Homo-oligomer: A and B are copies of this chain.
Amino acid sequence: MRRWNGWGDEANDMPLPEHGQQFVAERIGAGQHLPDASLAQVLEQVPASRLVAHPLVVLDAEDRVRHARGQSLPDWLAVREGRFGVFPDGVAYPQSAEDIRALLAYAQEHDVIVIPYGGGTSVAGHINPDESAKPVLTVSLERMTQLTDLDTESQLATFGPGVNGPQVEAQLRAKGYTLGHFPQSWELSTLGGWVASRSSGQQSLRYGRIEQLFAGGTLETFAGPLEIPTIPASSAGPDLREVVLGSEGRFGIISEVKVRVTPLAEQENFYAVFLPSWQQALGAIRALTQAKVPLSMLRLSNAIETETQLALAGHPAEIGLLEKYLKLRGAGEGKCMLMFGLTGNRTQNAASYKQVKRLCKPYRGVFTGTILGRKWAEKRFRLPYLRETLWQAGYVVDTLETATDWCNVDSLLNKIETSLRDALKDEGERVHVFTHLSHVYGQGSSIYTSYVYRPGGDYATALARWKKLKYATSELIVRNRGTISHQHGVGADHAPYLPIEKGPLGIATLKALAKHFDPEQRLNPGKLLQD
């Protein structure tokens, strides 16, 4: 059963080794546990629905609670405290494009706001209803999960939009294929959501971002269906796929997605290399990327993240041995872990491995084989469960991410870390901050920063601290040539910063598109664009 007030399935967790908890306490102080509300308490708050009955619309209170919030930190705090504020007036579960069109017609007829809902994994407030004079209908696509066509010659698969990561891969693997799209939210997030929010997976280096995987499909809009044919590449005017990608439910509801798939690879391994310093590590990852070595993943942790990961890994004896070995080979304090993936046929992988060795040599990389990589691969989708674990231990964890050109990566990363580390100084609070680069391009890299802080004595303090951390750092990112989001989208939380990135005419262009597809502005108001 999926947790109503946290990440993932109740049967799963990500335990913190005792040493790990101590590690955090040493850095920012003892944990401060806040009391959780129960589902029963929340259900009592759900007001009567304002929606007119419709066969596809469910008005049940628990459905409305379970679709009211995503996974942003404010969502987390609201849900744990049991202060939801606003609930959708109902949830619809369409099973076809016709159902979606019927729901849009219903919304138009009865003056209803519509929020498309995929896996509910947004960390930027994409699916939260706002206070509104009009009733709000959340349209969950969870019943549209079928692989309806697989063209093996063109390597194209057609899916319903609500299919989640495991469902995508299970259906493709049965036929020898993979989509290769593995965001950290993969267990719950959906194909339609990935497209709507321009998602990027951990192996985008091989498979591409969702922009490269999305070949076509249909967006149901208030102006009619936008049907995008699958064409491998075209110079026939602006690419309309790009209007669907990143539309975040503002332009329409995706009813069908066609994606480019790949036959399962002969071989896949993840390796860990340690670089003696951050500057050497940066040099190595840039060299590997710009040499276009056909790798499937590159992920570089800075020194604090490397230290944190090794501390939280458990097995302190084994890790101690590893660190001794690394020190002997020149990677002691300040070392940075670089993980790389090789996916493909054996000939190609062997050639790529040789190149990685050669390109890392000037930066004094110490290779440690596949053990750490295997552990990473096993736990790659478990990290979101850590928020629950840390919460139980009395800590709050959140992340911030961006991307920028290589010439700006180091500078922006330092600014972000400093901004977060110092944000609660006035309260005498420390923040534990660490960073990795996990999506790299010839031109630049993503920057993904995690931060752990103490909630204080109550929920109001926890949220106030988050706002201090988030707002100043978001402003800093867009003022310093970073994107407000490399992989999480805009939603409500990032919308105030988008105008700096897109410029006045850019924002006006997106508004013109929203108006074009949704003249009465019923779709997901306040998300992506503030008005």
Contact = CB atoms under 8 A, between A and B. Distances in A.
A443 B154 contact: yes
Given A227-B503, A237-B490, A232 B292 contact: no
Given A200-B235, A235-B487, A290-B263, A509 B240 contact: yes
A292 B290 contact: no
A235 B405 contact: no
Given A153-B407, A260-B442, A237 B231 contact: no
Interface stretch (A81-89, A135-143, A510-518): A510-518
A237 B197 CA distance: 7
Interface string A78-113: 000000000000000000000000000000000000
Contacts of A384: none
Interface stretch (A41-49, A305-313, A342-350): A342-350
Interface in A333-384: 344-345, 347-348, 350-351, 354-355, 358
A439 B232 CA distance: 10
Contacts of A483: 231, 233-236
A393 interface: no
A66 interface: no
A223 interface: yes
Given A155-B442, A230-B405, A238-B513, A223 B505 contact: yes
A442 B406 CA distance: 29
Interface in A436-485: 439, 441-446, 481-485
Given A233-B403, A236-B498, A348-B351, A221 B505 contact: yes
- How many chain copies? 2
Interface stretch (A17-25, A242-250, A323-331, A419-427): A242-250
Given A235-B485, A348-B355, 18 more contacts: A154-B406, A155-B290, A197-B235, A206-B292, A230-B443, A231-B444, A236-B483, A236-B484, A236-B485, A236-B498, A237-B247, A238-B242, A238-B245, A242-B243, A260-B442, A263-B290, A350-B351, A351-B351
26 contacts: A151-B407, A153-B286, A153-B406, A153-B407, A156-B443, A199-B235, A223-B505, A223-B508, A226-B506, A230-B405, A231-B404, A231-B444, A232-B444, A233-B403, A233-B486, A235-B488, A236-B483, A236-B502, A237-B502, A237-B510, A240-B502, A262-B290, A294-B294, A347-B358, A509-B517, A513-B513
